[in-house]
Amino acid sequence: MKSKARRMSGPTSPKRARVLSAAPRCTLGESPRWSEEGWWWVDVEVGDIWNLASPSPTHQESAKQVFALGRRVSYVQPLQESGLLVADGADIVELGPQLTGARKRGSVPVSAGEVLNDGALNEDGTLVIGSVGPRRRADGWLWSVGARGRVSRIAGPFSMSNGMAWSSSDLLLHADSGTRKIWAHTFRAGSIHRSEQFAEFDEDEGMPDGICGDGFGGIWVAMYGAGVVQHFDSGGTRQGTIEVGTAQVTSVARGGDDGGALLITTAREGIPSGSALDPLAGRLFHADLD
């Protein structure tokens, strides 16, 4: 399964993403998700959770700020019961239908300076979520949080645990941005039993950040620093590229009524507030897959 981000043969014409005008500019947009209620995402360090309730990202209704927590929120996942699963600091919190009430599922025992980052919810109800240590050098981990709140450290260490996507109920694809690698983890009974390298990237390709499945065993990968989203098939061969109008591309989600759209988040880290430098940094983008 090990690959070196293999490129497909022959010339290709990259697609270009468009700015999602209905969404605000984020400081660090992350964790895009699709549900019957539309698109969801977070502004991590600000602590905002956003929703764009529309059947497609081209709809002109403005995004709604659902929560302004004022503290780090790194992950949001719509639940089938019309609630949300949220990483609020080190706590994993369930919000009920109509977003009423809150129940803490569990707390991840992170060390000083270690923070939770992206995650992925398995069909059995287990959340696998990554942490990033203060040195970002082999001091972060993967954690599982069971449906009943049991918390376990299941893999690592990783330099900068980032995007995750379930290729199947027992195969988790996972980006470690600092080492520029994507791993394929075999997952059973709440634990990881084997890890193999799925892809590795050169420094000039940027860092793999957020990822999402393509519905066929492959993935879309947001390449932070490179201004693109890359598509790979189940064997790790590159199938296409979407150009994004800013360099710090943070994550990507597939959705829409027919699964034919991508929502892409970006960041404006390091760019002073009010600066005219890179005016598209932090904006959300969308692209059609047809």
Residue pLDDT, tens place only, 126-151: 999 999 999 888 899 999 999 999 99
pLDDT in tens, 259-283: 899 999 999 998 877 777 889 999 9
Domain boundaries, the chain: 6-288
Beta strands 228-232 and 219-224 are antiparallel
Task: Using pLDDT thresholds of 50, 70 and 90, give the confidence band for residue 75.
Answer: very high
Span 169-189, average pLDDT:
95
pLDDT at 56 over 70: no
Phi, psi of 55 (to 5 degrees): -75, -15
Residue reference for tokens 């296409």: 240
CATH class for the region spanning 6-288: mainly beta
Structure token pair of residue 127: 């959340």
Residue 230 reports pLDDT greater than 60: yes
Greater confidence (189 vs 232) lies with 232
How many other CB atoms are there within 10 angstroms of residue 159's CB atom?
Answer: 20
Residues above pLDDT 90, as percent of the chain: 78
pLDDT at 1: 52
Residue 100: its pLDDT value, please? 82
